[in-house]
Amino acid sequence: MSSTSEPAAVPPRRGRGRPPRGESTDTRDRILTAAREEFSERGYEKTSVRGIAKAAGVDSALVHHYFGTKEQVFEAAIEVAFAPAFNAPGAVADGPLDGVGERLTRFIFGIWENPTTRTPLLAIVRSAVNNDTAAAVFRRLIGAQLLRRVAAQVEREDAELRAELAAAQLVGCAMLRYVIKVEPLASADLEQIVARVAPVVQGHLTAP
Amino acid sequence: MSSTSEPAAVPPRRGRGRPPRGESTDTRDRILTAAREEFSERGYEKTSVRGIAKAAGVDSALVHHYFGTKEQVFEAAIEVAFAPAFNAPGAVADGPLDGVGERLTRFIFGIWENPTTRTPLLAIVRSAVNNDTAAAVFRRLIGAQLLRRVAAQVEREDAELRAELAAAQLVGCAMLRYVIKVEPLASADLEQIVARVAPVVQGHLTAP
C-alpha cells in the first residue's frame, strides 16, 4: 500500500549525498519501529508525526514522504508487524475447516504472547478504543486480513457474523488476559485456555 | 463504600448556610454524573478532579470531600451506574444455573444498549486499556460484583477461569459491536446475537 516510494526521490540524509543501496529500507523500518512504540505508549491521539520522526532520528518530512498522513503511518506500522503472521502458509485461513478454530486461536494467542507483535497490538487496542480514525484502521485491517479470509472458508450466509463472534471470543480473551490482566486468566496456562477457547471459536464458525 | 460522608460536615454552598435536606445527595449525584461524562469523553488520564468539579458546578474541595482521590471518584462513578443492574433480583447471578448463560448475556448487552449505562461502560473501557489504575478499578469492580458471584454458582475447581472466559466472549462482543463498530456485528439484530452467544457463555460456565 505505501510501498511505492522510490529511493531516488528520498532527500539525502546526514550530508552523505545519495543514500547507499538499502538505506531507504533501513530508514523505513526505523520509522515504523519508532511509530509502533510511540502509538503503543501514547495511543493514537497523543502521537504526532513529529514525535515519531524524532524517535526515529529523522526529519518529519521524511516520515510524510514515505508514509503520508498520521493515519497512514499507523496503518503501515501495524500492517508490517502482522504481514509475516498473516501470510505464513497455513497460518489461519488455509488448511482444513475442521481445524480452523484451533489455528485461529493459536494464531491470536501467539501474536499476543510474542513481545514483538504485542507492542503493535497494544497500540491498536489503545488507539482504536479512543479514536474513531484508529478504529477505522483496525476495522479495515482486521476485516480484510483476517475476518474476510476466515469467513470465505465458512460457506454460509451468516459467515461474516460468525467470524466476528469467533473474533469476539478471542478479542475478549486478549483484553482480559493481556490488557486488563484479570486473574486467574492472566496467569493461566496457555494450553488450558486453548483447550477451552478453540472449540468455541470452531463452534461459532462451523456449528449448525 | 464512599457513602459515609455526613451532610453536617459539608461546607455550605452558594452562601445559603446549612444546606437543606437532600441537597448533599443532589450534589453527589451531580458530581457523579459529571464524572462519568468526563471520564467517558477524556479517559482516565486526561480527566482531573478539577475538571469534574467545574463540569458539576462545584468546588474541587467538595469532590475530594465526598469521594477522595480521582481513583475513588472513578470507582464511585462507575459503581453507582451499575448498582441497580447488579442488584436487580434475579438479574444475573441468581436463578437456575441452566439459564445463567442467557441471563448474563442479556444483562451485558442490556447495559450496552442502554445509553445511561453505555456512557460509564465506555469510560471504563477507554480508561482501563490506557491506564493501570483504571484497569485495577475495573478488575476490582467486575471481579467482585459479577465474576465472583457467577463463579460462586458454578461449583467447579476452575469456576473463576470459566467465568472469565465467558466474560471474555461478552467483553469481545461489546468491543467489536459498540466500541470498534465492526460490521455486520455492529448492526446485527440483538436476538440473533443472543441466540449464538448465550449458549457459548452457558457452555463456558457449565459444560464438562
Q: How would you write the pLDDT of chain B (208 residues) with one tens digit per residue?
A: 444 444 444 443 443 344 445 567 789 999 999 998 888 888 788 899 999 999 999 999 999 999 999 999 988 888 877 776 666 555 566 677 888 899 889 988 998 998 877 887 888 888 888 788 888 888 887 777 677 778 887 778 888 899 999 999 999 999 999 988 999 999 999 999 999 999 999 999 998 8
| Peptide linkage before A20 cis (omega within 30 of 0) | no
Model pLDDT for residues A69-119, shown as the tens digit of each residue: 999 998 888 887 777 666 655 556 667 788 889 988 998 899 899 887 788
Count Cβ atoms below 10 Å from residue B174 Cβ, excluding itself: 23
- Residue A190: closest CA among B139, B163, B202, B161: B161
Using a CB-CB distance cutoff of 8 angstroms, which residues of chain A are in contact with residue B168?
Answer: 169, 172-173, 175-177, 185
Distances (CA, A) of B25 to B15, B30, B33, B81: 18, 9, 12, 15
Cα–Cα distance, A122 to A43 (Å, whole number): 9
Instruction: Give the number of other Cβ atoms within 10 Å of residue B125's Cβ.
Output: 25
Of B128, B169, B184, the CB nearest to A169: B169
Which runs of E-coded beta strand occur in B44-87? none
CA dist list (Å): B2 to A72, A92, A130, A144 = 46, 49, 29, 47
Q: What is the pLDDT of residue B138?
A: 81
Q: Which of B199, B200, B198, B176 shows the shortest CA–CA distance to B188?
A: B176
| Assigned C-alpha cell, A174 | 486478549
Place domain A88-206 in its CATH homologous superfamily: Tetracycline Repressor, domain 2 (1.10.357.10)
Separation CA A131–CA A173 (nearest Å): 22
Closest alpha carbon within chain A to B133? A180
Kindly state the average pLDDT of the residues A172-187.
92
B174: closest CA among B103, B127, B107? B107
Test A126 with B128 for CB contact under 8 angstroms.
no
The residues, ordered by sequence, that sit 6+ positions from A20 with a Cβ below 8 Å of its Cβ are none
Name which of B142, B161, B192 is nearest A184 (Cβ-Cβ).
B161
pLDDT value for B25: 78
Lowest-confidence pick of A21-35, A166-180, B96-110, B188-202 = A21-35
Q: What is the pLDDT of residues A133-162, one digit of tens each?
A: 888 888 887 777 777 778 888 878 888 899
Contact B143 A182 (CB under 8 A): yes
Q: What is the pLDDT of residue B198?
A: 97
- pLDDT in the model for residue A14: 41
CATH of domain B7-69: 1.10.10.60
Contact assessment for residue B100 and residue B50, using Cβ atoms and an 8 Å cutoff: no
| Mean pLDDT score, A33-49 | 87
pLDDT at A91: 58
Using a pLDDT cut of 90, give the percent of chain A over it.
38
Contacts of B139 in chain A (CB under 8 A): 180-183
Q: Which of B126, B179, B184 sits opposite A160 (nearest CB)?
A: B184
Query: Residue B169 phi/psi, 5° resolution?
Result: -60, -40
Which residues from A are below 8 Å from B169, CB to CB?
Answer: 168-169, 172, 200
> Which of A59, A56, A52 is closest to A13 using CA atoms?
A59
Q: Where in chain B is the domain with CATH 1.10.10.60?
A: 7-69
Cβ distance B203 to A200 under 8 Å?
A: yes
- Calculate mean pLDDT across residues A123-133: 82
Spatial separation of the C-alpha atoms in residues B161 and B64, rounded to whole Å: 37
Q: Poorest-confidence range of A2-6, A48-52, A69-73, B24-28?
A: A2-6
pLDDT band at residue A53 using 50, 70 and 90 as cut-offs: very high
B17: number of Cβ within 10 Å: 8
CATH class, domain A7-70, is mainly alpha
- Output the pLDDT for position A136: 87
The CATH 1.10.10.60 portion of chain A extends over: 7-70
Question: Which pLDDT does position A134 carry in this prediction?
Answer: 84
Which segments of chain B belong to CATH 1.10.357.10? 88-206
Closest alpha carbon within chain A to B205? A196
Preferred mutation among B46, B109, B182, B189 to probe A, highest tally of A CBs within 10 A = B182
